[in-house]
Structure formats: structure tokens, C-alpha cells
Amino acid sequence: MAQKMKKGVVRDSKKKTTKKTDVSKVSVTKKTAVKKTPVANVSQEEVLLQALRGMRDILPDEQPYWERVRKVLSHAAQEYGFQRIDTPLVEFVHLFTRSIGNQTDIVEKEMYTFQTRGGDKVALRPEFTAGIARAFIEHGMGVLPKPVKLFSVGPVYRYDRPQEGRYREFWQGNFDMFGESDPILDAQTIQLAYRVVQQLGLKNIEFQVNSIGVPDSRREYTKALLRYLEAQRGKLCQNCRDRLVTNPMRVLDCKEDKCIQLTTHAPQSLDYLDQESRDHFKRLLEYLDELELPYTINTRLVRGLDYYTKTVFEIWSSDKEGKKYSLGGGGRYDGLIESLGGEPTPAIGFGLGLDRIILEMKRTQVKPYQEAKPKVFLAQLGDMAKKKSLRLFSELEKNGILLAESFGRGSLKSQLRVANRLGVEVTIIVGQKEALDDTAILKDMVSGTQETVTHERLVDAVKKILKSNQLLQG
């Protein structure tokens, strides 16, 4: 009796040992043939039939939520004048180390990096903006009318600890604007982010905003912050102690309760802003007030990437208990293009975590996208009727009639059960007789009447019934 296989695991069967024959010592004549001996299979590893940890399949029953998100993102991008750009999943590692920063969590421990057969050191993209900036420079987009507005959507990868709404392969919607430094672009970016989450049906949205200035003024702030944190070193978590050496500002982004409490009275970046950054932030707040967008100044907000300058912001959703959920964020990165070898180009943008957004849509019971339901069902009986039905299906579809069928089911009764379950308004029936006569039975499921029509009249007859039913329902 064959051994039972462990569920989800493919195992090799037991190998049989066979005595090998030395073919060189066998003489082949008309009466003698060499008997081929089967070669033992090479041992294979067990195949685990499951997704990698932190990655998952997006199944058909979840797709209506994703479809709503995709449609809202595309519509918002079109409304605000963004053009779609798709960049590779794989880029050279140094693109991210130079732009994001060597001392960030992403580069230090979250990137999926590997070496190609050709010896190139590459990484799965951990975020969009660095790759888009590379494309901006490589394809000479700096000569285009400003601002250059680019939109992307797709998966990104970070080797982080999986948790609710946070995966190692996750999806982002990304909006970037290049070429303008006016703070009105900052306000418009936040307005766009608000428009997207609103159109997705999410409520209780608030923006956390801050300014971290430019690199020169930030150095003075970093010194002051470091002096304060050094005095609290023994009370910080181990990660934050390490950050004191590499990037003290990231201590403000720590999620440990004790570190949050210790940094409550830490120096604030707003007190160390240069005059230009101060004026920029003041004007941004005036624009946000004019737009009546919900925002809070959060002096602890620094974001985790080195390329940010001046404005930084995050989008938060809250529940009845006051718990906050981050849906995305962004800010200015005026020095990014230049740091990668391009011309000085101011820029601003933001990214939305689509997995987190869909989780929030489900939590707040937002309705997913509703696919248009077919109003016509095509049923057939017999081989000849099947052949005719394929052509009829094509003709009806070409004329803009959304219909369903169940070609694989043999009995007419089972097909009509499908039609009833779908709640169609019209059922077309093609049997053996109708196939021979080039006709079809047309049944109005609303009134209960039926008639036989020729194939030439079928499309018009179906449209007439649907229009009549629409008038009755209206």
C-alpha cells in the first residue's frame, strides 16, 4: 500500500537500485540488442506548497477591493495630470544606498539583495522614488515642462517582520512631482493624498506634518538632539543606542513606549530651521488652512529616509478607541536628483500602502468595487447548438451586451439554474432544432414571455427587451 503523502508536500518515490551495464563491452549484432538501464533520479528537495513567509496570494474574492483601489488611483492621477511610469522590480544596490541612506533600516536590514550571475549587486526595490528619480535622469526628463508628474503602482519588497497589514511583498501607489519648489505643490500633494483616501470611502483621516529643514540647518538640530539623547542613553532601547552613532534623528521614529516617553521633551526640528525652510513651512500651513484639510503639526515626525528635506508628512486613520493607523506618507526631496548625478531639481511626492488601506477599508466596512453583472444568459443543448452558441456569444459581446454562459454543463436544467442564480433579465436558449434553423428562443425573465427569433434579429431583440425592462424599473 502506497505511503500517504504529507499534505502540501511533494516527495520522491523510493528509488530502485539497478545493476548498471557496461555498454562498451557489449557487441551489437542483428540478433543482440543493448538493454537500456533506467538511470536513477537525482534526489530533489521537498516542495512546500505555500507562499514564502510575509508574502501571500491575492485571491479572487479580495480582488473587488483591489479593483476599487486601482480605479481610484488611476482616476486621481488623471485628474491631477500625472502620467504613468513603470520601473523595474530590480535595481542596482548602490541606487538605494546612495539615495535612501546607508544608515537607514531599509538599507541595513530590510532590503532583498543578491548578486547576479554576471556579478552585479542588485536589490528588489524597497520603495519607488529612488528608481523613478533614476529614470528621470536616465531618460532626460529634466527638459520636460515643469512640474513633471509621475504616477506608479506595484509591489515593493522589504525583509521586515510580518504583521497585520504589513508584508514582505507589499503594494504601493506612488505620486512624484519634479521641478517646482513652491510650497503650493506641497499643499497640492497633500490635497491629492486626501482626495484618494476620501474616494476610497475612508473617514477619520488626519495628516501629521512637520519640517526637517535642509541639510545645513539639520546638522545644528542633530547636534542638539544628540546632546539630549546622550544624557538619556541608559534608558533607550538597544536599537536607539545604536542610532545615536549612525542617525540620531531616527530615535524620534522609534515605536518603543519607553523611547517615545523619553523623546517627548527632546529638541524640536522647527526651532532649528533656516529662514527659507521656516517661510516654506509657514506658507504650506496657510495653504492647508485655506483647503480646510485636517492636519496636526507633529514635531516627532522625521520619516525614515535620508533624502527628505523640508516638508514631511504622514496620513493617519483612527478608530473609535483612538488607535492610529498609518496609511502612507511623503515629503520633499529637493536634493535627490542632484545626489544621483542629475541637475539640481526640487521634488515632492508620497506613497500609499495599499495593503494597509484595504485592511482599513474592510475594518470600516467600505464597499468594494462592484463588477457590472450580466443581464443575459446563453444556454445551449447538444453539440451542434454549442457550435452555434460560440458564434452567437461573440456577436452579442461585440455589440456591447454583457452576458454569461455555462458551456461546460450538459443539461439545460443545470444551465437555467445558473441563469436564475445570476438574476439575468433575458435567457437565450439554443437547442438542436434551433441550431438547424439558425434561430434561438428568447425568454424575457421579467415578464415571462418568450419568442423565437432568427440569428439576424437576435441582437436587436435582446436590446429591445433590456431597454423595455429598464424603462419599467426606472
pLDDT in tens, 3-17: 443 344 333 444 444
Q: Residue 88: CB partners within 8 Å, gap ≥ 6?
A: 125, 131
Name the residue among 274, 128, 129, 284 with its Cα closest to residue 212.
274
pLDDT tens digits for 140-154?
A: 999 999 999 999 999
- Tell me which of 7-16, 138-147, 173-182, 268-277 is least confident: 7-16
Query: Over the chain, what is the mean pLDDT?
Result: 86
Q: Are 258 and 240 in contact (CB under 8 A)?
A: no
Query: What pLDDT shows up at residue 280?
Result: 97
> Does the pLDDT of residue 263 top 50, yes or no?
yes
Query: What pLDDT shows up at residue 318?
Result: 86
Which cell numbers hold the place of 159? 525583509
Confidence class of residue 232 from pLDDT cuts 50, 70 and 90? confident
pLDDT tens digits for 306-327?
A: 788 999 999 999 887 778 889 9
Query: What pLDDT shows up at residue 474?
Result: 60
| CA–CA dist 219, 223 (Å, integer) | 6
Confidence class of residue 98 from pLDDT cuts 50, 70 and 90? confident
Q: Is pTM, for the whole model, over 0.85?
A: no
3-state secondary structure (DSSP) of residue 154: strand
Query: What pLDDT shows up at residue 256?
Result: 85
| CA–CA dist 225, 246 (Å, integer) | 13
Q: Give mean pLDDT, residues 361-385.
A: 90
Query: What pLDDT shows up at residue 34?
Result: 46
SS3 content of the chain, % helix, strand, coil (to 5): 40, 20, 40
Backbone phi, then psi, for 125, in 5-degree steps? -60, 130
| CA–CA dist 355, 168 (Å, integer) | 11
Confidence class of residue 19 from pLDDT cuts 50, 70 and 90? very low
Q: Are 394 and 345 in contact (CB under 8 A)?
A: no
pLDDT tens digits for 106-123?
A: 666 688 989 999 999 999
Domains of the chain: 60-363 (3.30.930.10), 376-473 (3.40.50.800)
Nearest 10 degrees: CA dihedral of 424, 427, 428, 431?
Answer: 130
